[in-house]
């Protein structure tokens, strides 16, 4: 997930303001969403370690909220970079790569070196260390586990490949939304994302693990894009 708070991301002095947002109220709402997501993920992991059934899906839902939140915040950040075209894409990708890869690579190497179980908080066999082979190791280093269908050496790394792939697509969506600024275009993009994810799901083979579907979480990221577009046109009825 992102290493800085919403306030730090949006108030970075290197980002030139471009789009009006309702300052503190928007940041408060985004920080609240982030807090809820963190608590849901924590509760989901804690319930597994304490063998409490029925709460595991809360953690997954928290990650989905993170996908929406991250996409929205990054769209706001791109709007403040003051760049266009290839310069914006390059600057954005370089920032993302150096934000996520150094720490993730270090984590993967430490997990493999010390043979840390994929889910160390679970008791018994579920917490046993498993070697994924050299292809699996390189897939985890490059964060392409969902494309190579390799397991994550540490289970919480599963979401990072989807985020990295979202990084590659997000500037293109930003260009598209600037080209077609109507909220209807953002709604159409979200509906198209849902349709593409649905086609991929229903066209998969019988033995294909749905956890490795590449477009599975694309609608979540597009929901963040839609929220970003609505922030420019919608009047807030309630305070933060």
Condensed to tens digits (0 to 9), the pLDDT of residues 213-239 reads 999 999 999 999 999 998 877 666 666
Quote the mean pLDDT of the chain.
Answer: 85
**Res 21 pLDDT > 60:** no
Instruction: List all residues 6 or more positions away from 38 whose beta carbon is below 8 Å from its beta carbon.
Output: 62
In 93-238 the beta strands, taken as DSSP E runs, fall at none
What six digits make up the tokens of 79? 């709007």
- pTM score above 0.85: no
What phi, psi does 194 have (nearest 5°)?
-60, -40
DSSP state of 150: P
Segment 162-206, tens digit of pLDDT: 999 999 999 999 999 999 999 999 999 999 999 999 999 999 988
- Close Cβ partners of 107 (under 8 Å, ≥ 6 residues apart): 154, 157
Per the model's pLDDT, the better-predicted residue between 16 and 191 turns out to be 191
Q: What is the DSSP string of 56-97?
A: HHHHHHHHHHHHHHHHHHHHHHHHHH---HHHHHHHHHHHHH
92-131 per-position pLDDT tens digit: 999 999 999 999 999 999 999 999 898 887 766 556 788 8
pLDDT for 23 beyond 60 = no
**Is residue 240 pLDDT above 80, yes or no?**
no
Residues 6+ apart with CB under 8 A from 198: none
Q: How many CB atoms lie within 10 A of CB 151?
A: 20
What is the predicted pLDDT for the residue at 66?
95
For the stretch 1-10, pLDDT in tens is 444 444 444 4
């Amino acid at each position: 997930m992102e290493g800085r708070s919403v306030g730090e991301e949006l108030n970075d002095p290197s980002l030139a303001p471009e789009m009006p947002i309702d300052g503190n109220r928007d940041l408060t709402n985004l920080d609240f969403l982030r807090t809820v997501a963190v608590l849901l993920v924590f509760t989901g992991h804690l319930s597994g370690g304490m063998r409490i059934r029925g709460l595991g899906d809360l953690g997954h839902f928290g990650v989905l909220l993170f996908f929406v939140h991250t996409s929205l915040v990054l769209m706001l950040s791109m709007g403040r970079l003051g760049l266009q075209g290839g310069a914006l894409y390059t600057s954005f990708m370089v920032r993302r790569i150096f934000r996520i890869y150094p720490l993730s690579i270090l984590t993967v190497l430490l997990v493999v070196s010390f043979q840390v179980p994929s889910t160390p908080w679970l008791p018994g066999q579920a917490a046993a260390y498993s070697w994924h082979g050299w292809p699996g190791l390189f897939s985890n280093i490059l964060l392409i586990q969902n494309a190579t269908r390799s397991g994550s050496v540490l289970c919480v790394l599963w979401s990072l490949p989807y985020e990295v792939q979202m990084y590659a697509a997000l500037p293109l969506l930003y260009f598209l939304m600037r080209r077609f600024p109507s909220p209807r275009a953002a709604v159409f993009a979200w509906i198209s994302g849902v349709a593409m994810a649905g086609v991929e799901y229903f066209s998969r083979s019988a033995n294909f693990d749905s956890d490795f579907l590449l477009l599975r979480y694309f609608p979540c990221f597009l929901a963040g894009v839609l929220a970003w577009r609505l922030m420019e046109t919608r009047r807030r009825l309630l305070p933060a």
